[in-house]
Amino acid sequence: MAIVLRIIDGPCSGREFRRDRLDTFVVGRSRLASCPVADRYLSRYHFLIEAHPPHCQVRDLGSRNGTKLNGRLIEGLVPLRDGDRLEAGDSLFEIRVEPETHEFRDSFGNSGPLSDSETTPGLPPTFELFLTPRPSLVTSQTRCLECDTPLRLEERVDGLAPDDDPNGVAWICPACRDRLSRFPPPPPGYVLERWLGRGGMGSVHLGRHLQTGTRVAIKTLIPQIASHPRARAYFRREVEVMRALRHRRIVRYYGVVETAGRFQLIMEYVESIDAAQRLRIQEGPMETATVLRIGLQLLDALQHAHERGYVHRDIKPSNLLLTPRPGGAVGYDLKLADFGLARSFRDQAGLTGLTNPGDLVGTLGFLAPDLIRDARAVTQSSDLYSVGATLYYLLTREYPYLNFDPRRDDSFQVVLEHPPLPLTARRPDLPEALSRVLERALEKSPRRRWPTAAAMADALRRVAHLMPRSESSGS
């Protein structure tokens, strides 16, 4: 299926924009908008549509005159349906949901048919990949795999093309999802020892491998919508690809267990505190030397990943795991968590439907403007923008923009259009050289940012050399 945004009245009547996978339309008069419209009454970035065919939702981006849905001004995120009409500026838009052939493509560019048992060849053996058989369905009516509640006909089935047999669709009802996220059964061969926390995509428990005694972190991910085997198979392949990414500063993935429609990621256990938690329990920002050390280690991890074609896509303080340095040394050592798989679970495999508004509150302040304009624009440069925003936040406890609040509708407009506030405007005690490093990372245009993680690290290292020797930072 495809979501089509068609202009049916106004200066650009007859134009249309199409999305056939999870993506965004940013409509505005700016030529940098993903859907530029030459309407002088539109704001530069007027409204955003998040499309995940056959569903989509719209948000006004703090425009001057607002956006109307079927004649009424909208506030916050509002769902759209086939035939809905949007008024903005001097233009009238119509939403159409059209049938279209599917091509499934994961975030590493793989596409085409894929069997449930496919794995990525050539990967070194780690933990066995368990695929627990699920009883096959014998009718076209899908039921909850836990309590047998029938799936309503209007519910979305992700990954189901029009000519697909609906048998094999996996679905867990909301009540069972809630129970399983809080009290998941252990994957085969493991025992769950205690609950560690809950992220945007699921709960995390400390587990232990029964044969080896190895302690691991087990994240339980439960699709929020019904899913076809093809969509689930793509997510399993992404986990298999990530198993090849080995670096001392990156949390290691061992594999994935799929049981009755839910996934459990088996990961390296890191006894740590994340940088967002660290800020919450201390007074004031982090020490400059500590942030420089974190930044150098983070960029070292990203350089390793970028050289191998991986992009993180979600760098923010809560994904930086910090452990005290050995021997009582000052500062922390870093491990980078959630390397793309949470976004893959939602976006590429499409297993959670549209973005939860709450997800953006923790992410928008660190999200590159190019990703707001075009969700497909995932590049190394977008990671480096997020590094700059993250280090800025650790040094100031503030986002890089003046009076920025990610919960407000105009927050998108701020990220897209407003210049970042120089670091030294908030922290005049910090070196100008450090402010310039972050300003370049936070450039609106990807071409004007640091060319590589290594180049940004070299610049940070020069700043570190300016610091007193007792505060020097290393990687």
In CATH, what number is assigned to the domain containing residue 260? 3.30.200.20
Using omega within 30 degrees of 0 as the cis cutoff, is the peptide bond preceding 54 cis? yes
| Within a domain: 432 | yes
Give the pLDDT score at 331: 79
Asked whether residue 134 is assigned to any structural domain, the reply reads no
pLDDT at 235: 67
Res 122 pLDDT > 80: no
The annotated binding site is made up of: 219
- pTM across the whole model: 0.78
Q: Are residues 332 and 245 in the same domain?
A: no
Tell me which residue of 189, 185, 224, 188 sits closest to 205, measured CA to CA: 185
Amino acid in position 347 = D
CATH classification of the domain holding 63: 2.60.200.20
Q: What are the tens digits of pLDDT across the range 324-359?
A: 888 877 778 999 988 765 455 445 444 444 445 445
Does 178 or 136 have the greater pLDDT score? 178
The larger pLDDT score, comparing residue 37 to residue 407, is at 37
Q: Do 256 and 280 sit in the same domain of this protein?
A: no
Whose CA is closest to 74, among 57, 93, 51?
57
| Residue 151 domain flag | no
pLDDT value at 114 more than 90: no
Looking at the fold, whether 393 and 352 belong to one and the same domain comes out as: yes
Query: Of the residues 246, 268, 290, which one is the last residue of a structural domain?
Result: 268
In terms of domains, do 360 and 457 share one? yes
Positions marked catalytic: 314
Same domain (yes/no): 366, 234:
no
pLDDT given at position 274: 94
Amino acid 446: pLDDT: 94
Q: Which domain holds residue 28?
A: 2-98
One domain for residues 205 and 302: no
Among residues 32, 65, 98, which one ends one of the domains? 98
CATH number of the domain bearing residue 437: 1.10.510.10
Give a yes or no: residue 164 inside a domain.
no
Q: Which of 323, 366, 359 is nearest to 343 (CA)?
A: 359
| 139 pLDDT above the threshold of 50 | no
The Cα–Cα gap between 65 and 271 comes to 50
Q: For residue 170, is pLDDT > 50?
A: yes
- 336 contact partners, CB below 8 Å, separation of at least 6: 249, 250, 251, 298, 301, 302, 312, 315, 319, 320, 321
Domain boundary residue, one of 268, 302, 320 = 268
Count of domains in the chain? 3
Give the chain's mean pLDDT. 80
Domain assignment of residue 249, yes or no: yes
Query: pLDDT over 90 for what percent of the chain?
Result: 48
Q: Does residue 171 have a pLDDT over 90? A: no
Looking at per-residue pLDDT, the higher value among 75 and 260 belongs to 75
Rank 101-110, 157-166, 282-291 by mean pLDDT and report only the highest.
282-291
Q: Which residues are annotated as a binding site for ATP?
A: 219
Identify the bridge partners of residue 95 per DSSP, sorted by sequence position. Answer: 5
Burial class (CB in 10 A: 0-12, 13-18, 19+), 24: buried
For β-strands 78-80 and 72-73, DSSP reports them as unpaired
The pLDDT value recorded for residue 52 is 75
Say yes or no: 302 and 418 in one domain. yes
Residues 352 and 450 in one domain: yes
pLDDT band at residue 360 under the 50/70/90 scheme: low
Please report the pLDDT score of residue 124 as a whole number.
32
Asked whether residue 244 falls in the same domain as residue 317, the answer is: no
Residues 77 and 190 in one domain: no
| Per-residue model confidence (pLDDT) at position 469 | 59
Mean pLDDT of 222-227: 58
Tens-digit pLDDT profile for residues 239-257: 776 787 899 999 998 888 8
Task: Tell me, yes or no, whether 333 and 456 share the same domain.
Answer: yes
Distance CA 25, CA 17 (A): 8
The reply to whether 231 and 82 lie within a common domain is no
Residue at 246 is within a domain? yes
